[in-house]
Amino acid sequence: MNQPHSTPFDQQRPIPGVKNIIAVSSGKGGVGKSTVSVNLALALSKKNKVGLLDADIYGPSLPRLTGTLNQKPVISQDQKLEPLVRHNVKLMSIGFIVDEGAAVVWRGPMLFKAMDQFLRDVKWGELDYLIIDLPPGTGDVQLSLAQKVPVAGSVIVSTPQNIALADVKKAVDMWQRTGVPLLGLVENMAWMRNPANNEKIQLFPRGEMDSYLDAKGLPKLVQVPFDPSVGLAGEAGVPVVESHPQGEEAKAFFTLAERVRELVPS
Ligand SMILES: Nc1ncnc2c1ncn2[C@@H]1O[C@H](COP(=O)(O)OP(=O)(O)O)[C@@H](O)[C@H]1O
Ligand SMILES: [Mg+2]
> What DSSP line would sit under the chain, residue for residue?
---TT--GGGG--PPTTEEEEEEEE-SSSSSSHHHHHHHHHHHHTTTS-EEEEE--TTS--HHHHTT-TT--PPBPTTS-BPPEEETTEEEEEGGGTSPTTPPP---HHHHHHHHHHHHHSB---SEEEEEEEPPSSSSHHHHHHHHHS---EEEEEE-SSHHHHHHHHHHHHHHHHHTPPEEEEEEET--EE-TTT--EE-SS---SHHHHHHHHT--EEEEE---HHHHHHHHHTS-HHHH-TTSHHHHHHHHHHHHHHHHS--
Q: Is the pLDDT of residue 29 over 80?
A: yes
Write down the pLDDT at residue 111. 78
159 in contact with ligand 1, CB cutoff 6 A: no
Q: Is the pLDDT of residue 151 over 80?
A: yes
CATH of 13-263, one of 1.10.150.120, 3.40.50.300, 3.30.360.10, 2.60.40.3140: 3.40.50.300
Q: Which of 70-84, 185-199, 234-248 has the lowest mean pLDDT?
A: 70-84
179-224: pLDDT as tens digits:
999 999 999 999 999 999 999 999 999 999 999 999 999 999 999 9
Residues near ion ligand 2 (Cβ under 5 Å): 33-34, 56, 61
C-alpha of residue 189 to centroid of ligand 1, in Å: 9
State the ligand closest to the CA atom of 35.
1
Average pLDDT score over the chain: 93
Residue nearest atom 14 of ligand 1, based on CA coordinates = 30
Instruction: Calculate mean pLDDT across residues 86-93.
Output: 96
54 in contact with ligand 1, CB cutoff 6 A: no
